């Protein structure tokens, strides 16, 4: 795995998320905070060097935090990743 930075949120995604939550949402600022908290290179040792590439470590950490906060099963968290703009 080649470590990558978190990068910026696509402009359209950010605009839609802020329009959907004009009063704010607890998850929207977390991604920015996580950027200074964890980087791929900090977690790269946890991932295999061979085989199918895994998701980005920073993204998996963020989703795991959301999953914990909402007490979701793995299936429910996977559904939330696909369906919820605040998780994007």
Cα 54-60-65 angle, rounded to 5 deg:
165
Q: Mean pLDDT across the chain, nearest whole number?
A: 81
Residue 79 or 28, more confident: 79
Sorted by where each begins, the domain ranges of the chain are 27-87
Distance CA 31, CA 37 (A): 10
On the question of pLDDT at 28 being above 90, the answer is no
Lowest mean pLDDT among 21-30, 42-51, 59-68, 72-81: 42-51
């Amino acid at each position: 795995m080649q470590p990558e930075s978190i990068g910026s949120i696509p402009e359209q995604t950010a605009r839609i998320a802020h329009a959907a939550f004009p009063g704010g949402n607890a998850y929207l600022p977390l991604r920015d905070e996580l950027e200074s908290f964890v980087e791929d290179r900090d977690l790269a040792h946890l991932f295999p060097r061979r085989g199918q590439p895994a998701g980005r470590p920073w993204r998996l950490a963020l989703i795991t935090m959301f999953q914990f906060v909402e007490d979701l099963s793995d299936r429910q968290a996977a559904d939330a990743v696909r369906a919820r703009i605040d998780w994007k």
